């Protein structure tokens, strides 16, 4: 089963995404910020990372930088942002794809599936 790490400071978003991805057969790990996400990755490497950009403690940009410094090979990142320039925010962290908030759960599930297929997982 592919493992998805969901990093978002909004507990309701984490919960809804967890339910949606679990229903699709994914194993899901949750983290409220980049610092907690790095600790989760040290325990279990994900196949895909769903990364919110603006969070307290450690934001998406700092998480992506530290993650790339520490791990190779790396899981693909899907950036999630409410910013107008979602594509640019994704490019800023080298994300394989991006989702603009608010997003449709069907679009989220499809995005994760496409990223996993691209990586051959």
- Please name each of the domains of the chain with its CATH number: 3-119 (3.40.50.2300)
pTM, full prediction = 0.92
Spatial separation of the C-alpha atoms in residues 94 and 104, rounded to whole Å: 23
- For 12-32, the pLDDT digits (tens) are 999 999 999 999 999 999 999
**87-107 per-position pLDDT tens digit:** 777 777 888 898 988 889 999
21 secondary structure, DSSP code: H
Q: Cα–Cα distance between 66 and 14 in angstroms, integer?
A: 22
Mean pLDDT of 106-119: 93
Q: What is the DSSP code (8-state) at residue 96?
A: S
Please give the pLDDT value at position 85.
Answer: 75
């Amino acid at each position: 089963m592919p493992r998805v790490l969901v990093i978002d400071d909004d507990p309701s978003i984490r919960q809804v995404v967890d339910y949606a991805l679990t229903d699709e057969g994914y194993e899901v790990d949750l983290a409220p910020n980049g610092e907690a996400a790095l600790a989760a990755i040290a325990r279990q490497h994900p196949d895909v990372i769903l990364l919110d950009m603006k969070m307290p403690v450690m934001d998406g940009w700092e998480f992506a930088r530290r993650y790339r410094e520490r791990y190779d090979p790396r899981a693909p990142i899907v950036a999630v942002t409410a910013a107008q320039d979602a594509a640019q925010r994704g490019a800023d962290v080298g994300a394989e794809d991006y989702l603009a908030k608010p997003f449709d759960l069907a679009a989220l599930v499809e995005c994760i599936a496409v990223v996993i297929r691209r990586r051959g997982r």
